[in-house]
Homo-oligomer: A and B are copies of this chain.
């Protein structure tokens, strides 16, 4: 692994001081901001995430704020998910598509009020697309990146830790709902969500000055819970089938190819700019789709480019993420697989940097 050169362009977060003090070992860059990837080791972090509770600096989930009379109309233009029944207090996972139906991002939309939304984005400058659409359609809406930085609390002891800092009422927040909770006299959005399958919360920290005080309060309150700084864990997120935009899907892919058809209501999502392009694939289904793939044998090296999935001479897909799972004792992987080979238990070959490996395609992720 090479070093990363520091510069202002790779933005620090309101929690960076805490991340450094906790001994971060490696980063990735996500939305032009530093995202920790390793504290103790990927394997140690994985075990600890499943056993205890972690604080994650996920400020890289930048917010695109929509505010004004046309905010709701604009939000529906962005996604094939029908938002008519969405209430303030709800979070929706929303595929965002362009006019060709290609995925531009896969964020969580947070409905604060009828005329105010946050879009908590994955790794692409969605702000630019939304601003362009709003300007082109002359919508009455403010589109901006506010000073809001999510801090995640993830792991089986997340409820206990959160209750100690925000009070017992936080335990009542339902999955993909949020409530307003005070910290140092300031109300913060706290949602039950996060990029792991271990349960937990995301705190939308409004105001960078609150970053380190909140980080420190959580660390202090969780000492006897073995709280530790953590980060989205490569192994755990592959096991759970949590996709990563830019890794497992790009603007080449429709939501249906990404297995996100259940989040699309293309017929009734009137106004979605990608609706025309998606109607046909929504009905007939895609010809390739995301699948869990087990790569047999010894641990594979880091997956930094697509690994071809082969059936003899036939190129039937690509692996985009892969890691050795201690709990399942195999290489858990995510791939985009052609229809001809996506049935569960299909045997294929994967061309890794370490040579060709036997692999099996599945339908359900490891949980």
Mark A residues whose CB is within 8 Å of B: 1-10, 12, 24-30, 32, 37-38, 98-99, 104, 123-133, 135-137, 244-247, 273, 302-306, 320-321
Known contacts A10-B28, A132-B131, A135-B132; is A2 also within 8 Å of B3 by CB?
yes
Whether B9 and A302, one on each chain, are in contact in the complex, defined by CB atoms closer than 8 angstroms, is no
- Interface CB pairs A-B, < 8 A, 24: A1-B4, A2-B3, A2-B4, A2-B24, A2-B27, A3-B25, A3-B27, A4-B26, A4-B29, A7-B28, A7-B304, A7-B321, A9-B30, A9-B244, A10-B304, A28-B29, A98-B135, A99-B131, A104-B128, A124-B125, A125-B128, A128-B132, A130-B132, A136-B137
Q: Chain B residues near A28: list those with CB within 8 A.
A: 4-5, 7, 9-10, 29
With A124-B125, A128-B104, A131-B132 already in contact, the answer to whether A4 and B3 are too (CB < 8 A) is yes
Give the CA-CA distance A157 to B156 in the complex, in Å: 61
Whether B27 and A10, one on each chain, are in contact in the complex, defined by CB atoms closer than 8 angstroms, is: no
Identify the 7 closest CB pairs spanning chains A and B, nearest first: A136-B136, A132-B132, A9-B246, A125-B125, A29-B29, A128-B128, A6-B304
Neighbouring B residues of A305 by C-beta, 8 Å: 8, 12
